[in-house]
Amino acid sequence: MSREELKLAGDTPRTLAPGSTIGMLGGGQLGRMMAQAGSAMGYRFVALDPAPDAPCGQVAPQIIAAYNDRDAARQLAQRSDVITYEFENVDAGVAALLAEESYVPQGSALLYTTQHRLREKAAIRAAGVPVAPYRKVGSLAELEGAAAELGLPCVLKTATGGYDGKGQAVIRQAEELEAAFRQLVPDSSAVILPELVLEKFISFQCEISVIAARSASGEVKSFPPAENIHVNNILHLSIVPARVPEEIQQRACRLAETLIDGLNAVGLLAVEMFVTEDGELFVNELAPRPHNSGHYTMDACVTSQFEQHVRAICNLPLGDTSLLTPVVMVNVLGQHLDGAVERFCRADEEANRLGIAPKLHIYGKTESKTGRKMGHINLLCKDTGDGLSWVEQTNLWRN
Ligand code: AMP
C-alpha cells in the first residue's frame, strides 16, 4: 500500500479482531491496565516508553525510546495494526508520523484541542455544553480587565502544561491579582509569555466525572458518574454512585455523550464537571484517554473503561456500562503503598465486618515517591458509606 492509500485507510473505520496488535504511545499505568484488559480479549500490545521496566513494559513488549524519537515511533507503527496513546502531550510531529504510517482511529485533532485550555473550552462551548465563564489573559492589564468583567473570586490558570492543580492560582481579592500573575508568569520580560485563562470560581457542591466512549463507527456509551474528592489537588476518592440526584447523574451522562459526539472523538473521553448547589453542571476539563476517576469500572462495572477503549478503537460493539455494585476507589500514593500492601497480605477484619471486598491494583512502578500514583483499591460494598468508613478506619490515608 502506498502512503496515500494508508493515510486514506486511516480515515475509514476498520474493525480489528482479537489477535491484532495495538501499539501504545506511553507505557505507564494506564497503558498497563489497557494491555491487561486487551490481552484478556486476545489482542497483542507493544508500548513505546523511555523508562526501562515501565509499568506497561512488565506486561507487554516495550520499545525503550523517547516519545519524540521518530525512528522509534516508526518502529512502533510497523509493529502495530492500530495505534493509541495513554497521555495527552503527544508530540505533534510523532502524531502526524504515526497517522501516516499506521492506523490511528483517534486522530490527533482532539489531542491538539485538549492540550490547550482555551482551545478546549471553545470546543466544549461549540458542542453546546457549559463551561465556567472565562477570559483569555496575556498581560497584567488584561488580567485586571478580565477580573473586573467576571467578578471575583476567580481562578487563573496557564493554558498549557498545568496538571494536578499546578500552574493555577485562586484570586479572592483585587490586591491578589498581581501576585497571581507573577506566580504564573515569573519572567514577564520573556519574549513569549505563557497564555493564561481566567475562570470564574464556581462554588461547587461536588465534582463529578463521566467517562464516555465512542467507537470508530460512531456508537456512544457512558459510564455512571463518579463523585471525586481531591486532596492536595490529586484525586483521592471516587465514589459511585455519586451522591447527587439521579436526574443530575443522567444529565451528566447525556452531556458527556453530547460532547464526545460533538467532538467526533474515538476512544474514551473523560469529562470532569462541577455540580453547583442549584444542580447546574459546568465542564472543567477533558481527557481523551482512560482516566483515574474511571478505575472503579475495573471491578464494579460489566465492562471496564480499558476494555471499552480497546473495543472503541478496534471498532467492536461497545460493552455494557452498567454498575454491578456500589464502589469507592481510593488511590494508593507513594506514602500509602507499604501500609496498603501490608494490609492486603493479611485477613482484613474491618473489611469483613463492613462486608467490603477490597480489590488491590498495584502498577509496578520501580520508584515510590510521596504524591506519586502507585496503585488504587476498589472497595466493592453494599453502600458507599461503608467503603468510606473503611478508608477512614484504616488510618492509611491520613497524609
Ligand atoms: P484543573 O487543573 O482545572 O482540573 O483544576 C484543579 C482543581 O482546582 C479542580 O479539581 C477544582 O477543585 C479546582 N478548580 C479549578 N477550576 C475551578 C473553578 N473555576 N472554580 C472552582 N474550583 C476550580
User: Distance (Å, rounded) from C-alpha 212 to C-alpha 283?
Assistant: 14
Q: Are residues 242 and 187 in the same domain?
A: no
**99 alpha carbon to ligand 1 midpoint, in Å?**
33
Residue 350 resides in a domain:
yes
Amino acid 362: pLDDT: 98
| Phi/psi of residue 360, nearest 5 degrees | -90, 135
Q: What is the CATH number of the domain that holds 307?
A: 3.30.470.20
Q: Closest residue (by CA) to atom 1 of ligand 1?
A: 165
Radius of gyration of the chain (CA): 21
Please tell me the residue having the least CA distance from ligand 1 atom 17. 201
Inside any domain, residue 122? no
Count of beta carbons in the 10 Å neighbourhood of residue 125: 13
What's the CA angle centered on 221, arms 378 and 278, to 5 degrees? 75
Per the structure block, which three cell numbers stand in for 321? Answer: 456500562
Q: Count of domains in the chain?
A: 3
Where residue 54 sits, what CATH number does that domain have?
3.40.50.20
Report the run of H or E that residue 282 belongs to, with start and end. Answer: strand 281-287
Facing residues of 47 across strands?
24, 62
Instruction: Assess whether 225 and 316 both reside in one domain.
Output: yes
Of the residues 144, 169, 200, which one is the last residue of a structural domain?
A: 200
State the DSSP string of 38-99: HHHTT-EEEEEESSTT-TGGGTS-EEES-TT-HHHHHHHHHH-SEEEESSS---HHHHHHHH
Domain identity same for 267 and 286: yes
Residue nearest atom 18 in ligand 1 by C-alpha distance = 201
DSSP structural state of residue 176: G
Q: Are residues 196 and 222 in the same domain?
A: no
DSSP 83-105: EEESSS---HHHHHHHHHHS--T
In this prediction the pTM is 0.95
Omega cis (within 30) before 153: yes
Q: How far apart are CA 292 and CA 229, in angstroms?
A: 12
E strand intervals along 189-225 = 196-200, 204-214, 220-222
Kindly give the parts of the chain with pLDDT less than 70: 1-11, 164
Same structural domain for residues 253 and 219?
Answer: yes
C-alpha cell at 88: 495527552
Question: Where are the strands (E) in 120-251, listed by range?
Answer: 134-137, 154-158, 168-171, 196-200, 204-214, 220-222, 226-231, 234-240
Chain-centre distance for alpha carbon 75: 27
Confirm whether 110 is domain-assigned: no
Helix (H, G, I), strand (E, B) or coil at 168: strand
Residue to probe by mutation, ligand 1, list 137, 284, 285, most atoms within 8 Å of CB: 284
**Which of 121, 155, 228 most suits a substitution to test ligand 1, by most atoms within 8 Å of the C-beta?**
155
Can you tell me the distance from the alpha carbon of 51 to that of 33, in angstroms, rounded to the nearest whole number? Answer: 17
3-class SS shares of the chain: helix, strand, coil, % to 5: 35, 25, 40
On whether both 191 and 332 belong to a single domain, the answer is no
**Same domain, yes or no: 16 and 71:** yes
The set of cell numbers assigned to 194 is 505563557
Return the residue whose CA atom lies nearest to atom 6 of ligand 1.
165
Atom 5 of ligand 1, nearest CA residue: 165
Q: Which of 144, 168, 200 is the last residue of a domain?
A: 200
Counting atoms of ligand 1 from 1, which one is nearest the CA of 201? 20
Whether residue 339 is found in the same domain as residue 221: yes
In a domain, 338, yes or no: yes
How far apart are the CA of 161 and the centre of ligand 1, in A?
15
The residues, ordered by sequence, that sit 6+ positions from 14 with a Cβ below 8 Å of its Cβ are 82, 103, 105, 216, 315
> Hey, whose CA ends up nearest to atom 4 of ligand 1?
285
Give the CATH number for residue 160.
3.30.1490.20
On whether the CB atoms of residues 44 and 58 are closer than 8 A, the answer is: no
User: For residue 6, what pLDDT is reported?
Assistant: 39
β-strand partners of 45: 22
Ligand 1 atom at shortest distance from the alpha carbon of 202: 20
Last residue of a domain, one of 85, 104, 123: 104
Assess if residue 227 is contained within a domain.
yes
The per-residue pLDDT for 3 is 40
Which residues line the pocket of ligand 1, CB cutoff 6 A? 132, 155, 162, 165, 168, 199, 201-202, 207, 230, 233, 284-285
48 domain-assigned: yes
Distance CA 272, CA 149 (A): 25
Residue 304 lies in a domain: yes
CA angle 310, 311, 312 (to 5 degrees): 90
Kindly state whether residues 299 and 377 are assigned to the same domain.
Answer: yes
Name the residue type at position 93. G
Residues 267 and 192 in one domain: no
Assess whether 196 and 249 both reside in one domain: no
Looking at residue 55, its pLDDT comes to 97
Domain that holds residue 91: 3-104
- φ/ψ region of 364 (left if φ > 0, alpha if ψ in -120 to 50, else beta) reads left
DSSP state of 27: -
Helices (H), 153-233: 177-184
What pLDDT is stored for residue 11 in this prediction? 59
Same domain, 250 and 316: yes
pLDDT tens digits for 166-190? 789 999 999 999 999 999 988 878 7
Could you tell me whether strands 281-287 and 267-276 are parallel, antiparallel, or unpaired per DSSP bridges?
antiparallel
Residue 336 lies in a domain: yes
